[in-house]
Structure 1
Amino acid sequence: MTLDLHGIIPPLVSPFTADEQPDPAALRAEVRYHLDLGVHGLCITGSTGDGQMVSLEDSVAFAEAAVAETAGQVPVVAGIIRDSTREVIRYGKAIAATGVDALQVTPVHYLFQPDEDTTVEYYRRIADETGLPIVIYNVIPYALIPATTVARVLNEVPNVIGVKQSGGNIHQLADLLHLAPEGGKVFTAVDDLLYPSYLLGAQGAISATLTVVPELCLAQWDAVRRGDHASALELHNKQLPVWRAIDGPNMTVRIKAALALQGRDGGHGLSPLTPVSDAEREALRAALVAADVKLA
């Protein structure tokens, strides 16, 4: 494939109004914020973007906004988190019409996990029927695709161009990188281990920390690329408390609170996500201050 995905690809929040309607204008502002910093790509409607909760209509609205604001400057990857091949393809065809560059697709996860051959064919059919490049989103802990199966999909399905490795922590990522699949790239989503992920050979990251503190993550990526490991480690130690502060069952609304502390508009969260508590907000503030992030 000619699509060049690499480097820092923040997965954006999905901004909603108080009455739970999509807010494309707020998303466009976030897109512009990241583009002005120099990110290498953008991802929408993934886990950070409440992808498991958004309707097809919401997904299309957010994709249209992201594509329009990006205007071809960097690739736009749209996430789909559904539980049947048919539904993924239904979403995928509608989203493809907006002009996104690729789809990020989880395995199905409720209630059962397909076997290896079925998993390969799942991604093959999605790629064939949507006509878009696919990034495997390997995140569901109870339906984690083994590293050997991921490598097989990357090597056997031409339009599957990469994997975002989130579940299984650094060990699954290490196994994938050791297998060195020739058919696609391996991106890390192990937020507390971004720096060692790059050292192991990850070709970029698509993870929540990138959305909250993109400046730090871009600086770290550049530091690793030029071999400045003292700076990369220093940035790791700034990023880690930020990740600890946003990590939790209500992660997406914590992220939106972290954006608000910086004067950015991530919109409202969706029900039934637990609202951010005062203690959580103060932990977010403290982590951002410690990381030298400018607050509003």
Structure 2
Amino acid sequence: MTLATKADFKGVIPPLVTPFDADENIDVEALRAEIRFHLTTGVHGLCVTGSTGDGQMLSLEQSVTVARVAVEEVAGAVPVIAGIIRDSTAEVIRYGQALKETGVAALQVTPVHYLFQPDEQTTVEYYRRITEATGLPVVIYNVIPYALIPATTVYRVIQEIDLVVGVKQSGGNIHQLADLLKAAPTEGVVLTAVDDLLYPAYLLGAQGAISATLTVVPELCVAQWNAVQAGDHKTALDIHNKLLPVWRAIDGPNMTVRIKAALELQGRNGGLGAHPLTPVSDAERDAIRAALVESGVLPV
């Protein structure tokens, strides 16, 4: 198997929802349909079992099921990244070794989700152990608010560990993203997950995005990416202003069920949320619908 490189992880990479049925099992057919839909929009990759996919709630067996379905449906058309959100190095490695067998191109790995931040050397060692044990490329998922990895440490991890191919900078921190882009690590890509600032992030040099808005309205996000690549900044800014209300409507508590509501309003089946996520209220659904109308995705 030829290992993916940083060149494989650029552009629009939506993080998919994990559809659950009424018994909180994976709704495989809904997942397959959502993957097929995204492939028609021109996305450059797909990410599964991340935050948008309720990765922290998934058992190893569920994570493997989702990843295997994605790899089957994609059939090599675009790379599939599998997220791991666990609380120890050993657990990340256990998930990573199982996910490797599905044929995913890379892993997206958070710092430990519950514990507070390890020091810099331990963080470097954490990612080194994961890559050595799995043999897979890794994208750092820098999202945990109380364990946010400083830009200097992210730079060091990318530069020092061959199989760390990039970072997804999340947590709403455009300043951290700016610091990473200024540092410009040569051994990996910097991807943005600052949803309300995708366009400015591209202008600063972000080589792509993995973020929830891409999942809700991938057509708009692909169009924006293409406009930026073509130097059509008027179009890119116009799309930014369409995307902003969508993000404002889905951002908040129980975000994954908000995202699923946004998919349902567009005639897509994101499945149910898993307990204890709170179902969207009528007011939240109305706000999401209004945002999709404002963006031009739904008719007035």
Amino acid at match of 1:91: Y
1:124 aligns with 2:128: yes
Report 1:108-187 matches (<5 A): 108-167=112-171, 169-187=173-191
1:218-257 deviation per Cα after TM superposition (whole angstroms, max 9, x unaligned): 0000111111111111000000000000001110000000
Pick the aligned partner of 2:277 from 269, 273, 280. Answer: 273
1:64 aligns with 2:83: no
1:198 aligns with 2:202: yes
How big is the shift at 1:175?
Answer: 0.2
CA-atom RMSD, angstroms? 0.9
* Contact 1:253-1:268 at 8 Å conserved across structures: yes
Pick the aligned partner of 2:92 from 88, 95, 103. Answer: 88
1:237 aligns with 2:241: yes
- TM-score, length basis structure 2: 0.97
Report 1:40-51 matches (<5 A): 40-51=44-55
SS at match of 2:239: helix
Cα distance in 2 for partners of 1:93, 1:249 equals 32
How big is the shift at 1:182?
Answer: 1.0
SS at match of 1:172: helix
- The answer for unaligned runs of 5 or more in structure 1 is none
Cα distance in 2 for partners of 1:200, 1:209 equals 19
* Contact 1:46-1:81 at 8 Å conserved across structures: yes
Give every structure 1 segment of 4 or more consecutive aligned residues whose post-TM-superposition deviation is greater than 6 Å.
none
Pick the aligned partner of 1:263 from 267, 272, 284. Answer: 267
How big is the shift at 1:109?
Answer: 3.2
1:23-68 deviation per Cα after TM superposition (whole angstroms, max 9, x unaligned): 1211111110010111000000100000111110110010110000
- The answer for unaligned runs of 5 or more in structure 2 is none
* Contact 1:141-1:168 at 8 Å conserved across structures: no
The count of corresponding residues between Structure 1 and Structure 2 is 295
Report 1:210-225 matches (<5 A): 210-225=214-229
Other-structure match for 1:284? 288
Cα distance in 2 for partners of 1:168, 1:218 equals 21
How big is the shift at 1:2?
Answer: 4.4
Cα distance in 1 for partners of 2:112, 2:64 equals 21
1:38 aligns with 2:54: no
SS at match of 1:77: strand
